[in-house]
Amino acid sequence: MALKVRLKELIYDVYERRLRRKLDGVQHPRHVGVILDGNRRWAKDAGLDAAHGHRVGARKIVELLGWCEEAEVEVVTLWLLSTDNLNRSPEELGALMEIIAGVVDELTDPATPWRVRIVGALDVLPTETAARLSAAALRTKGRTGMQVNVAVGYGGRREIADAVRKLLQQHAEAGTTIEELAEVLTVDHIAEHLYTSGQPDPDLLIRTSGEQRLSGFMLWQSAHSEFWFTEAYWPAFRRVDFLRALRDYAVRHRRFGG
């Protein structure tokens, strides 16, 4: 059995090196979004509880960010908790909140170079969790490393609604009437108020676990994104899977309607 495992590892090593060579000199995405899906199903298949799956998935995140840095990705958006996830049992949700807070603490540790932004509706989270996430992200202000967006309490429709609400409030405070705003309103005005304002839209969106839908992830920003789906559950996602996503992205012709 051990020999079979070792042989499999060697095969993957050879395949991974070949993929990396193919990526030399090709186009790389500036912004990668990842839907980290399948923690619970991975745990169930292993005969473990959901919290264990979330913890294993959390440990995978730093690995992914390392792979992204090697690929010269500038922005990574990680979807950790959707607004729909808030309907889960209090026991699972409580454990998940603590795991997510722990992940953000790890990503914002003084030893890490990343700039972290929390994207989502923090008002739907427990007050203590929201404060902890905000304080952790604030610690990374002024850093120059890769931008890491952590989507918690995130929903694409909620994000657009929040952006429009902020836009209306801004113009109301400036004395602009609805009629005047309607005359000048553009998509850029709304984009300026999204959670990811000031950042490039995602070039590549990855979803694990075999589901082939976005479930509302970055609805506005993904208008021209390339999608890549894999059967692997998030805790089992490997570097070779990430390289395959980059390879497939590199060979696609991005016409943007032209």
List binding-site positions for Mg(2+): 37, 226
The pair of three-digit structure tokens given for residue 18, joined into one six-digit string: 């070949």
Name which of 32, 12, 34 is nearest 249 in CA terms. Answer: 32
End-to-end CA distance of the chain: 53
Which helix (H) or strand (E) is 119 found in, with range?
strand 115-119
Known catalytic residues are: 37, 85
SS3 state of residue 68 = helix
Give the dihedral of Cα atoms 229, 6, 45, 102; nearest 10 deg.
Answer: -70
What single-letter DSSP state applies at residue 203? S
Q: Which residue ranges are tagged as binding site?
A: 37-42, 54, 82-84, 88, 207, 213-215, 226
Other Cβ atoms closer than 10 A to 106 = 15
Strand partners of residue 117: 149
**Angle, helix 90-107 to helix 50-70, in steps of 10 degrees:** 30
Name which of 233, 222, 219 is nearest 32 in CA terms. Answer: 222
* Euclidean distance between CA atoms 188 and 190, whole angstroms: 5
